[in-house]
A and B are shown apart, each in its own frame.
Chain A
Amino acid sequence: MKTLTVHFTLNDAPQTLVTAAGRTLLEVLRQDFGLTGAKDACGGEGECGACTVLLDGEAVNACLVLIGQVEGRRVLTIEGLAPAGELHPIQAAFVAAGAIQCGFCTPGMVLATKALLDHTPHPDENEIRTALAGNLCRCTGYTKIVAAVQMAADKGQNER
């Protein structure tokens, strides 16, 4: 089994990892770091967004990132969005808006939202729906998710 060494920043903490080269970021996050917020819902095809994490601030599907490709880069998962016991304004908005039912898509949705609001602090509805088009949800019909994003944008969420 071929291994490689990766140095990267995970939720603001520097990491050095020696692991099999063919593993994806999703696998590593879930198995090695116990960060199970990123989910596998489509079998690693990049079709559902449930594994969305931020890579240098951009929303990406962790199932399609080879672990070596995060060398020297910053990875943010849902667990790193706010200090333990606190909620980031986007998370708080999702909770308050009733945008969370089964919750399986929620971490991906929240991070896709963060990537959007960091680039576009006051998106219109079309921009919101486009930014979330890579995140499937089967429970909510997206309505309250869009409302949550608008709520977060209105409150201004320029942190981190």
Chain B
Amino acid sequence: MNAETTLIGQPEIRKDAAAKADGAARYTADLALPNLTYATLLRSPHHHARICSIDTARARCLPGVIAVLTAADVPGARTFGMIPDQPVLAIDEVRHIGEPVVLVVAASLAAAKSAAAQVKITYEPLPAVLEPKPALAPGAPLVHPGGNLLAQFNVDSGDLNAGFAAATVILEEDFSVQRVTPGYMETENSLARVNADSSLSVWVSSQEPFIDRACIAAVLNLPAERIQVLSTVIGGAFGGKEDSSLAVLTAFAAWATHGTVRIVNDRRESFVAHPKRHPARIHLKLGAKKDGTLVALQGQVWMNTGAYASYGPAVGSLLTEMVTGPYHIPNVSIETQVVYTHTPYSGAMRGFGSPQAHFAIESALDMLAARLGLDAAELRRRNLLHQGDLLPTRVRVNETALGLERCLQEATAARERLRCIPATPGKVSGVGLALAMQSMGLGAKVPDTSSHRLEWLPDGRVLIHLGAPDLGQGLITVAEQITAEALELPFERVLTAPFDTRDVPDGGVTCASRMTYLVGNAMLAGAAGLKKQLLANGAALLQVPLDQLSYAHGELLLPGGRHYPASEFASRAAEAGQPLQAEAAATFPYPAETTPQHLPAGMPHVKFIFAAQVARVEVDPELGTVTVTDLVAIHDLGKVINRLTAEGQIEGGVSMGLGYALYEDMNLKANGQWVDSFTEYMLPTSRDMPTRLELHMLEYPEADGPFGAKGLAEITVVPTAPAIANAVYDAVNVRVKDLPITPEKLYAAVQ
């Protein structure tokens, strides 16, 4: 990694910003295609029921109705998913409120909805189980025939009994976290068209377009080559758009009607029928010596994965790895159970188990500190992971942990500063901190390659054929910046092609805090490849030995001062039908010598990101209301690639973490319905954010990251809730162990 860079770390302005600012940006639901028809879904009103009959006769006859489809009409695989247990349309049984049962396609959305209202479905309601522990009890209603335990993960290291025997203090606590929704502003939607040659074009707001293509192919019994998946601008995803349901349903509707169909989930549907963050209960038993040295940790986790598997097992495995937080604990036993229930299913969501795990461990450490009479920061310092330490997964921590100590130092200093701020009259103030750790990548034994392609355009600019979608977070900008840096080009001279599976290689899923690292490394490899191509091409064209040519700033240089812009060669090559291109791929490294092999696929992770956040709160003791007045976010991201997008990730992550801590809860209402609207589900508004939000971006380079960069996206939401919980405890001596921290919970305890 050179110290000298031109673009790295600069606040380059994203090229898509202007179109987003002036309304020209077209999201999937904004696309206008000729002969567009509309589909709507009739969804289960029951948690669990048998479908006795579906009568579509009346609906089919209504004006404008083109088709009324059920599971029986699906030509190929009737279920899909990583674990394919999720029906395209319900088959004989519904397993959660909101599960799609009937698909109505019509000339207008109004006609589709009118027709849907005329479909008669008779259900036989069945007993339902909504929580993991009851779902595991003998005799519990089954969500799937194989039993309600979807997956279980165990991580053991050392000797737990010996560990607890050596403990002076044992803390045993239960924590619980709620169901939250990713809450992106653009709800899920897709548009599909059957083309004249019987191929299918599908536009979808999705993080995983190649997986969508595979699911569509299986469901429609078509070869993947006949299916083109395109991505236009995406209005936020946060993990919730790692789900093929809309792509599959829309493609199915188009195929069945040989037409062009759009499906848009409204906000209620988005709540109940697309992945949530796993609610969980975490039981922690933590043993420590008098001086605070942690000697043992036993964790039991019950995750409510809902009706379908989605990415539940993967979240479960990552959560298990995060239970111990960024600390060295020699004797550990963790068991995580991922449990089916008859609820809207959970899956990927920013943090992927880490926010849940850290709420528990970071709260527990503060509680332990209080028990031991130790300062909470000091307790952490005594147990912090260092380079060379072994994690419970037997991964040895590498130099990436260097930033961790500095995170804690800065957090401690921030805490002292914030403690000096006097409380507003009538309020009580408190300051709390939390550390966090997030993994990068998909985990060992899961293929994790991200492939892209770079091309010299005829005019000498460079086009990135990016194989994974930008979710709005600025992945394209980061890719362009790294490519431009590597090729010594101005930022404006690097562009990105629109995403189209027929054009781009498979870049994998945009997820897992892996894209800056993988895409960045892929761009570096691709840039090197482009230079090579240019040199080789130039040597041949100019009839000059290769070793006499060099490359600089988009030009080939010859001895004696002659220089030729890349366009000279690129334009000729393009005219000849052989554009100058290079593969740009990177694979996440899991070196066999150092990666433990004893755990299931997806475990362990071997690269980590660290952070700390410090929150100052003011509590109104008579009302229980909490205001976060200050938040200091200290993030080690290895290397800042784009200052603006990095800050944006942190600021946005903090708001999501704040909502998790204080406001958001998709719970079951007294009337038996899930919270499913923004009237009831409280996202933070501009008036709910701390007015003083301070960012510290540390740069402890990741040895093999692009310019030393790590990932950032997920960890930003991890320490926020425990920092706030710890601050609330500091203010009013009330320990809230179940999120969200509502005024009622505080008020009741303060009185």
A39 and B186 alpha carbons, distance in the complex (Å)? 8
Chain B binding surface, main DSSP class: loop
Q: Is the Cβ of B683 less than 8 Å from the Cβ of A136?
A: yes
Q: How far is the CB of B247 from chain A (nearest CB, A)?
A: 19
Closest Cβ of chain B to A117, distance in Å, is 15
Name the contact of B187 in the complex, choosing from A41, A129, A139 (C-beta under 8 A).
Answer: A41
B151 within 8 A of A: no
The residue on B at minimum CB distance from A101 is: B472
Measured between beta carbons, the chain B residues less than 8 angstroms from A82 are 22
Within the complex, the shortest CB–CB distance from B712 to chain A, in Å, comes to 13
In contact, A102 and B647 (Cβ under 8 angstroms): no
Interface residues of A in 68-91 (CB under 8 A from B): 77-79, 81-82, 87, 91
Most buried by A among B471, B685, B687, B693: B685
Contact of A132 among B16, B19, B654, B686 (CB under 8 A): B686
What is the number of residues of chain B that contact chain A, defined by CB distance less than 8 Å? 57
Q: Are A101 and B648 in contact (CB under 8 A)?
A: yes
A118 and B66 alpha carbons, distance in the complex (Å)? 49
Which of these, A37, A47, A92, A96, contacts B678 with CB under 8 Å? A47
Kindly identify which residue among B13, B21, B29, B235 contacts A102, using a CB–CB cutoff of 8 Å.
Answer: B235
Least Cβ–Cβ distance between B738 and chain A, in angstroms: 24
Taking A98-B644, A102-B185, A144-B651 as contacts, is the C-beta distance between A133 and B27 under 8 angstroms? no
- State how many angstroms separate the Cβ of B563 from the closest Cβ of chain A: 34
Is the CB–CB distance between B185 and A41 below 8 Å? yes
Contacts of A94 in B (CB 8 A): 17, 21
A146 to B313 alpha-carbon distance, docked (Å): 39
Pick from A107, A129, A140, A146 the residue with the most CB of B within 10 Å.
A140
Partner of A145, one of B29, B185, B647, B686: B686
> Quick check: A98 and B648 within 8 Å, CB to CB?
yes
B72 sits at the interface (CB 8 A):
no
Decide yes or no whether A103 CB sits under 8 A from chain B: yes
Which of A132, A135, A139 is within 8 Å of B473, CB to CB?
A139
Asked whether, in the complex, the Cβ of A34 is within 8 Å of the Cβ of B32, the reply is: yes
A45 B677 Cβ-Cβ under 8 A: yes
Q: Does A104 contact B (CB under 8 A)?
A: yes
Q: Complex formed: what's the CA distance from A7 to B325 in Å?
A: 63
CA distance A128 to B266 in the complex (A): 29
Whether B689 contacts A141 by the Cβ 8 Å rule is yes
Interface residues of chain A: helix, strand, loop or mixed (majority): loop
Complex CA–CA separation, A91 to B655 (angstroms) = 23
Chain B 1-38: CB-based contact to A (< 8 A → 1; otherwise 0): 00000000001011011111111111101101000000
| Complex contact B677–A142 (CB within 8 A) | no
Contact flag A139-B266 (CB < 8 Å), given A50-B185, A102-B472: no
- From B21, B645, B686, contact of A106 by CB (8 A): B21
- How far is B187's CA from A43's CA once the two chains are assembled, in angstroms? 10
Residue from the list B22, B652, B683 in contact with A91, Cβ < 8 A: B22
- Contact (A141, B652) CB under 8 Å given A103-B235, A106-B20, A110-B21: yes
Contact assessment for A142 and B16 in the assembled complex, using a CB-CB cutoff below 8 Å: no
Contacting residue for B652 out of A43, A104, A139, CB 8 A: A139
Report if A4 contacts B (CB, 8 A): no
Complex Cα gap A82–B183 (Å): 30
A54 on interface, CB distance cutoff 8 Å: no
When distances are taken between beta carbons in the complex, the residues of chain B under 8 Å from A40 are 29, 266
Q: How far is the CB of A121 from chain B (nearest CB, A)?
A: 19
B19 CB to nearest A CB, Å? 8
- B647 CB to nearest A CB, Å: 7
* A95 within 8 A of partner (CB): yes
Q: Which of A1-59 contact B (CB under 8 A)?
A: 30, 34-43, 45, 47-48, 50
Q: Are B648 and A104 in contact (CB under 8 A)?
A: no
Contacts of B614 in A (CB 8 A): none
> Which residues of the other chain, A, contact B14 by a CB distance below 8 angstroms?
98, 100
Residues from chain A with a CB closer than 8 A to the CB of B678 are: 42, 45, 47-48, 136
> Is B233 engaged at the interface, CB distance under 8 Å to the other chain?
yes
Q: In the complex where A79-B23, A102-B186 touch, is A135 in contact with B236 (Cβ < 8 A)?
A: no
Mark B448-482 against chain A: 1 for CB-CB distance below 8 A, else 0: 00000000000000000000000111100000000
CA distance A106 to B187 in the complex (A): 15
Of A135, A136, A141, which one neighbours B654 at CB under 8 angstroms?
Answer: A141
B184 at the interface (CB under 8 A from A): yes
Shortest beta-carbon distance, B714 to chain A, in Å? Answer: 14
**Which A residue's beta carbon lies closest to that of B234?**
A102
Task: Write out the residue numbers on chain B whose beta carbons fall within 8 Å of the beta carbon of A48.
Answer: 185, 678
Q: Given A43-B266, A78-B23, are A102 and B648 neighbors across the interface (CB < 8 Å)?
A: no
Tell me, in angstroms, the Cα distance from A50 to B683 when the chains sit together.
Answer: 14
- Distance in Å from the Cβ of A134 to the closest Cβ of chain B? 8
Q: How far is the CA of A112 from the CA of B473 in the complex (A)?
A: 23
What's the Cα separation between A144 and B651 when bound, in Å? 8
Q: Say whether A140 contacts B23, CB under 8 Å.
A: no
Task: Establish whether residues A36 and B185, one from each chain, have CB atoms under 8 Å apart when the complex forms.
Answer: no
Is there an interface contact between B13 and A103, defined as CB atoms closer than 8 Å? no
Nearest chain B CB to A33's CB is how many angstroms away? 11
8 A-B residue pairs with Cβ-Cβ distance under 8 Å, sorted by A, are: A37-B24, A42-B677, A95-B21, A98-B14, A98-B645, A102-B236, A138-B655, A139-B473
Add 13 more A-B contacts to A47-B678, A98-B645, A143-B689 (CB < 8 A). A43-B266, A91-B18, A94-B21, A98-B11, A98-B648, A101-B648, A102-B233, A104-B185, A104-B235, A129-B689, A141-B651, A141-B684, A142-B655
Which B residues fall within an 8 A CB radius of A?
11, 13-14, 16-27, 29-30, 32, 182-187, 233-236, 238, 266-268, 471-474, 644-645, 647-648, 651-656, 677-679, 683-687, 689, 691, 693
Return the 4 tightest CB-CB contacts between A and B, nearest first: A102-B472, A37-B23, A103-B20, A98-B644
